[in-house]
Chain A
Amino acid sequence: MGSLLRSEEMTLCQLFLQSEAAYTCVSELGELGLVQFRDLNPDFNAFQRKFVNEIRRCEEMERKLRFLEKEIKKDGIPMLDTGDNPDAPAPREMIDLEATFEKLENEMKEVNSNSEALKKNYLELTELKHILRKTQTFFDEAEFQHQAMHDPYLGEETMGLLGEESQRSGQPLRLGFVAGVIGREKIPAFERMLWRACRGNVFLRQAEIDKAMEDPVTGDQVLKSVFIIFFQGDQLKSRVKKICEGFRATLYPCPETQSERREMSIGVMTRIEDLNTVLGQTGDHRHRVLVAAAKNIKVWFIKVRKIKAIYHTLNMFNLDVTQKCLIAECWCPFADLDRIQQALQRGTERSGSSVPSILNRMSTKQEPPTYNRNNKLTQGFQNLVDAYGVASYREINPAPFTIISFPFLFAVMFGDMGHGLIMFLFALWMVIREKQLQAKKIDNEIWSTFFGGRYIILLMGAFSMYTGFIYNDVFSKSLNLFGCQCDKDYTPASLDNNQHLQLNPNGSYTGTPYAIGLDPIWSVALNKIAFTNSLKMKTSIILGVSQMMFGVALSFLNHRYFQRPMNIICEFIPQVIFLFCMFGYLCILIFHKWTHYTSDMAGNAPSLLIGAINMFLFNYPKHSKLIYSGQPGFQGFLVVIAVLCVPWMLLVKPFLLRYQARYGQPFDFADVMINQGIHTIEYCLGCISHTASYLRLWALSLAHAQLSEVLWTMVMRLGFMFDGFIAPFMLVIVFFFWAGATVIILVVMEGLSAFLHALRLHWVEFQSKFYKGEGYMFQPFSYEHILDHGGEEN
């Protein structure tokens, strides 16, 4: 039966495919996504396989596509994603694709290198332009200095420029100069090096270029400065040139006279304009090529990945002795054999081959993979279960039960109607806008975690609203829908004389409790926690024992399905008796105490906890109140039976197995005994510790309620204490803080905490009663799966 209760029945099949038809058949099976191929050549490495060349070609194509994609992204062109799912192209189409990609790649590379050369040229011309402009300033300043020389109160420059020295000293000095451009950050070191190397006999002037210029290779914006160095003589010239080379400064020829410089300037400007035009045209051409490529690139990616996937799969097949057909082995669900046959037929027809492909069922002793057919609701919960361990083949799948029990246990720990409403609305938005949000393909990991669990969060929110209604907790306030259970009990005089009074239920209890949930009077009571502790602890124990009993019952279903009657007698029955005698009886006592002891008998009500301890110690002190006559005898009987279950679980099965294997079959008694011992101890100790572990339902619910109350009294209440004009503004501000803390601390943080604890309760306390979890997942050959994961290798 195809239900989620157990994993699907799987069968091992052999496929006989003719070599020509193999490609198309595998392509059809990939679209179907229902078979898992087994590798028939596990000893071959990647280079010994049959289709290694085709895979190499595919990887080349992928590399070219990735290069194109990078270029497209660099230009910020949007890539069209039509959501198309093109079929895997035939092998002869592969050659066409390869040619197209090759052409595109070459074109892009050419355009890129051209563009780089042009930009370098552009950079040089720009730097030259700046030099010509700035050196004008230097020479102008020299004129100013020249004038200043005659007036010693102006200027302090000691060195003059061409011709100026000659006026003072009367001796003609030929000063050479070099002009160039250097990165701004290198100037101090450059200056120091010059000073040291030339012993202070050179003179450097520099001016910053305001605009940052684009480096042609890296594309970064760099800040540079123009410098001009004056020196005398050839030796210094060669030294200066070497230093400039070392600091990677670019030198430019700068004419001496102003008119020459102006001419050069004009020429440089014209050339810069021309270059700008050419650069623009090159950019346009590149853009056009990329836009044309961007239209198809997603489809190409899909096609190439599909081809690669097909060849990887074909590599797993065996070649027949006659070299004419390929043999494959695969796992597939029994219920889908018809669809697989049809896919094979389609594939054979498409390839034009006359020989039909054959599917042959094989019987095997190997354990098949575990396959659960999930829909979008159940997939989330199945993931939660699988995260702990994949179910063994055909054992009971806890996932369908987890759909309700997990959100319910979460809600018991989270129980607040207001917070539950926030969670529910958030999940509702995600569910209603499912299609649009999925189409956006947002990459954020946290978002995809929340989105993937939207149905889980929806149910968690819904159940939290219910448990919040029962706990009567809306943002730490209570609702009074059905009338309070208490009535007035005090005279005005006693009210005047006291600060606090405790209502005695003997007088004030109206006789009927609050209809649904916790009475609202408790929310204003000072001893609220004393009451809710009792309620929540007992509820936790009852829920815990119920879930564990349910788990043991599921193990019975497993034993019956796998036809192990010995397990039923030796494990299931003693387990049930043990759990019932120890904790089922306690639950009955809880219900009895609630219903039997009215408020006037309050003094006689026994403590269940002390009672339970005394039960196991066989200790019944004289003054203790009995719940019913014959209680010591009956409880003693229960304890004895529970203790007897332990050797029952421990010894009966190993001896039975030994008896069955008495005719010389290989049987390791010690091994079986140790195994059984481990299981017995695990179960018995587990019963006790897991029952106590369920008390976390109480603990987290208490913490949540207290946090919520503290947030209200410490934060929100302050907003109501203001008077006058500023009151509304202060209220808005305080509400902002309160709302922010509510969402961040109480919904998100407490929600994650309760989620984790509910998960633990399922994985450990519930599943340890019946779940083996030793299977492996069914991973079908499916394009959908491969394309979603970006084309990883099988």
Chain B
Amino acid sequence: METGLVIGIVTAFWFFVGAVLPIILQFFLWRSPNKGIYQIMLILTAVCCYIFWLTAYLCQLNPLFGPQLSVDMIRFMQQEWWNDQSV
């Protein structure tokens, strides 16, 4: 999957949760005493989850070292994941 596509989709999702939904709630729930709580919950959830996903994604964007695997594991993966029947 393209890097830009993934970042775009995930950012758009959390932006919707954290910015668009609270604005919608502002108009649809404007009488409810709990409106403020829901808005704070949505914004905080979006911010925390987005930052957490972003750190995990950016960390792997440019890996500086790779995984150390046992040879059996490499053979197995070549067969199962990388569809290399030559092994």
A residues in contact (CB < 8 Å) with B: 2-5, 373, 375, 377-378, 400-401, 403-405, 408, 412, 466-467, 470-471, 480, 482-488, 490, 492, 495, 498-505, 508-509, 511-519, 521-522, 524-528, 530-531, 534-535, 538-539, 542-543, 546, 591, 594-599, 602, 605
Contacts and interface: CB of A to CB of B under 8 A. Distances in A.
Nearest to A469: B53
Nearest to A412: B52
Interface in B29-58: 33-34, 36-37, 40-41, 44-45, 48-49, 51-53, 55-58
A500 B56 contact: no
B61 A594 contact: yes
A503 B67 contact: yes
Given A404-B44, A505-B63, A531-B67, A512 B56 contact: no
B74 interface: yes
A546 B68 CA distance: 34
Interface in B62-87: 62-71, 73-75, 77-78, 81-82, 84, 86-87
Q: Which 7 A-B pairs have the closest CB atoms?
A: A525-B67, A503-B66, A513-B60, A404-B44, A594-B58, A502-B68, A602-B64
Interface residue range, chain B:
35 or more
Interface of B: 1-3, 6, 10, 33-34, 36-37, 40-41, 44-45, 48-49, 51-53, 55-71, 73-75, 77-78, 81-82, 84, 86-87
B40 A401 contact: yes
B44 A405 contact: yes
Nearest to A600: B62
Given A466-B49, A502-B68, A516-B53, A538 B41 contact: no
B contact patch SS: helix
Nearest to B47: A546
Contact of A535 (B41, B55, B66): B55
A591 B44 CA distance: 21
Given A495-B87, A512-B6, A526 B82 contact: no
Given A490-B74, A546-B51, A515 B1 contact: yes
23 contacts: A3-B33, A4-B36, A375-B34, A403-B41, A404-B45, A408-B44, A471-B56, A480-B81, A484-B77, A488-B84, A495-B71, A499-B70, A502-B65, A502-B69, A512-B1, A513-B3, A518-B56, A521-B69, A524-B69, A538-B55, A595-B61, A597-B62, A598-B62
Nearest to B84: A488
Given A466-B49, A516-B57, A543-B51, 11 more contacts: A404-B40, A488-B78, A488-B84, A490-B74, A495-B75, A499-B70, A500-B70, A503-B68, A504-B66, A513-B63, A543-B52
A517 B78 contact: no
B68 A527 contact: yes
